[in-house]
Structure 1
Amino acid sequence: MRYNADMPRRVLLLANDAKPSVREAVPRVRKYLEGHGLEVVGQLSRRDAAKEPDSHGADLLLVLGGDGTLLEWAREFVDHQLPILGVNFGKLGFLAEFDMNSLFRHCADLCVQKTLPISELMVIEATVHPPLESHPRFCGTAINDCVIAAGRPFRMIDIGIFINGERGPVLTGDGVIISTPIGTTAYNVAAGGPIVSPSVDALTITPLAAHSLATRPVVIDANRDIELVLLGTNPGTSLVLDGQIHHTLQTGERVRISKYPKAARLVRDPDGSYWKTLMQKMGWSARLAPPNHGEEMPKK
């Protein structure tokens, strides 16, 4: 989903300074932004992510790192509703759409135009409730996925599923993934789940190594609440948010997952699109190279 936002003039840099390439790029980025009339109001590193987020009066968050860095900061600042521009220094760059070249190529235009291309990404909230208690003992958000993972000693676990209070199946296996549309291209697709367009208001439930031939992923209305009841766990069973936040779970606890009222707002690369990214960076529908049947066997 795309809509226009007021043109930002004040920028907060969010850098993964554990990467040498990011540390080297920060002075260049700062100089380039300031040379095009934008004010850099501050800089934060990933070490600051656990603190109470302070936007320093910024109108735009510029993230230097990979998709993981962008996910971390997008969760931290989701309530601020600021546009986030991601510059990729990681491997894939599915969410962080810009690289240094595209940033510099489009920076001048983004500085003078009145509107920005914005994508709103669904955010989901997970709460953990002890047995017979309504008040959660843990609460967190995710942009890609919420995962219940079996953990050590890696025996199968049992999870009861309820959708909007209606009893569903009991999953026996290695766990379950609840993913947003943008998150379906992450862990979900690796586990055999479907890819769902970001414009679809839906959540995907994908079992992990289910001990049943009949268990398949399902796609449901994102406005339905999901409750996962831990019927049998391991000592290491955990709730994992975006692969970054881990919280240990116990038998009898309930994990409630619902759509968060606010979305993450990402600035899109004007030269890109979701489908182009899906093809170019994830190899969607890529043709396999035909076998060379005429190739000679190596000589001994």
Structure 2
Amino acid sequence: MVYGITGNPTKDALWAPLARLIDRLLDDNLPFRIHEPIATGLMEHDLFAEDVCRTHAVDDVAEAGDVVLSFGGDGTLLRTAHRTGPNGTPLLGVNIGRLGFLADIEIEQIHDAIDALEAGNYRTEERLVLQANLEAGSGLDTEWALNEFVLDRSGAAGLIEIEVVVDGTPLNTYWADGLIIGTPTGSTAYSLSTGGPIITPGVDAIILNPIAPHTLTVRPIVLSADATVTCQVRENDQPYVFAADGQSTMFDEHNLEFSVERADHTVNLVKLPGQHFFHTLRSKLMWGVRRSGDSDKGEQPISTPHDPSSLKGE
């Protein structure tokens, strides 16, 4: 197996554990390729000689590797997914960020992860991806999103009016700060913070979640993943933003049609023994945690996100 290595070079916590990993790969004669900006960073930090870095540096780790190790947080993994595009190369997120729903292997677990990968003891999850088609000449090519698309006011005061049609049938005209069109993967991202439902990754669904709607009876709705959602921002005096996984484009023109549907490709995430979405909820969102004074009531402690033994199975 050839390991493609990428990450967030702005994180100081990246370099030392990454250097230890590369030492291990070299010692074990395991092939790997390093994204060129990371290879440059290793040289600048005097961690490896130039010949080692240059020999293994590539522009496209997804093309060069059988699996891509993405060191950072969820944002780093999203950027890695967009760089790999519809290539299909499995991604393993190694968390050196704050929360880590997508990057759900902690940095301390990376050597156990390599052992599991070498033994073939892993699985891949195909994650639903959404594609947005915009009118010709709108200034933005077709985009796709692993987490969500967002139509949002540009920061100016005032709400925006978003008309939504699903499979040709009018659903609602939202008067709100914006609208999230999300995937099950994105249900634990922006959508969760605005009151949206958590959806397990294996469910084929699209979430429509208004952001701070003016009408309190308006609530998130879950649609079939085969639905086509068409949105238009109606006329007002302010620009608005269309964002794909946090990458934003400003628009001044209103009544453009944003048509969102299931994409032709998926993003494939590597999952190791003992990893389960429910474990992630317990460890990252602290579900089931009790106050220390409640320990005499019989509750069993849960594993923590920094417990390397969580790779060994539940």
- TM-score computed with the length of structure 2 as normaliser: 0.80
Report deviation, 1:135: 8.0
Q: State how far apart, in whole Å, the 2-side matches of 1:224 and 1:37 are.
A: 48
- Aligned twin of 2:301: none
Give the whole-Å Cα distance in 1 for the aligned partners of 2:274 and 2:26.
Answer: 23
Task: Please show how residues 52-201 of structure 1 align to structure 2 within 5 Å.
Answer: 53=60, 55-113=62-120, 116-129=122-135, 137-201=140-204
Higher helix fraction: Structure 1 or Structure 2? 2
Partner of 2:53: none
- Per mean C-alpha deviation after superposition, the further-off stretch among 28-37 and 92-101 is 28-37
Q: What count of residue pairs does the alignment treat as equivalent?
A: 275
Question: Cα distance, 1:235 vs. partner?
Answer: 3.4
Q: Judging changes above 3 Å, is the alpha-carbon distance between structure 1 residues 106 and 255 closer, same or farther for their aligned structure 2 residues?
A: same
CA distance in 1, matches of 2:214, 2:190: 19
CA deviation after TM superposition for structure 1 residue 121, in Å? 1.1
Q: Which residue of 2 aligns with 1:23?
A: 15
Give the aligned partner of residue 231 of structure 1.
234
User: Is 2:217 the partner of 1:211?
Assistant: no
Question: Relative to 1, partners in 2 of residues 1:233 and 1:262: Cα closer, same or farther, differing over 3 Å?
Answer: farther
Distance change (3 Å), C-alpha of 1:154 and 1:270: farther
The equivalent of 2:268 in structure 1 is 265
Give the counterpart letter for 1:235 in structure 2. Answer: Q
Q: Which amino acid aligns with 2:112?
A: R
CA contact (8 A) 1:159 1:232 kept: no
1:6 aligns with: none
Which letter does structure 2 place at the counterpart of 1:16?
N
1:169 counterpart SS class: strand
Distance in 1 (alpha carbons) for counterparts of 2:233 and 2:101: 33
Runs of 4+ in structure 1 deviating by more than 6 angstroms, as ranges, are: none
For the residues of structure 2 that align with 1:96 and 1:24, how far apart are their CA atoms?
18
AA aligned opposite 2:110: L
CA distance in 2 between partners of 1:268 and 1:276 (Å): 12
Percent of paired sites with the same residue: 26
| Partner in structure 2 of residue 246 of structure 1 | 248
Query: Compared with structure 1, are the counterparts of its residues 198 and 18 closer, same or farther at alpha carbon in structure 2 (3 Å cutoff)?
Result: same
Q: Show structure 2 runs of 5+ residues with no match.
A: 41-58, 294-314
- Structure 1: tracts of 5 or more residues without a match: 1-8, 291-300
SS in 2 for 1:265: strand
Q: Any conservation in 2 of the 1:78–1:263 contact (CA below 8 Å)?
A: no
Residue of structure 2 equivalent to 1:12? 4
Question: What is the CA distance between 1:288 and its match in structure 2?
Answer: 6.9
Residue 32 of structure 2 is aligned with which of 36, 40, 50? Answer: 40
Is 1:279 matched with 2:277? no
Two-structure CA RMSD over aligned residues (Å): 2.5
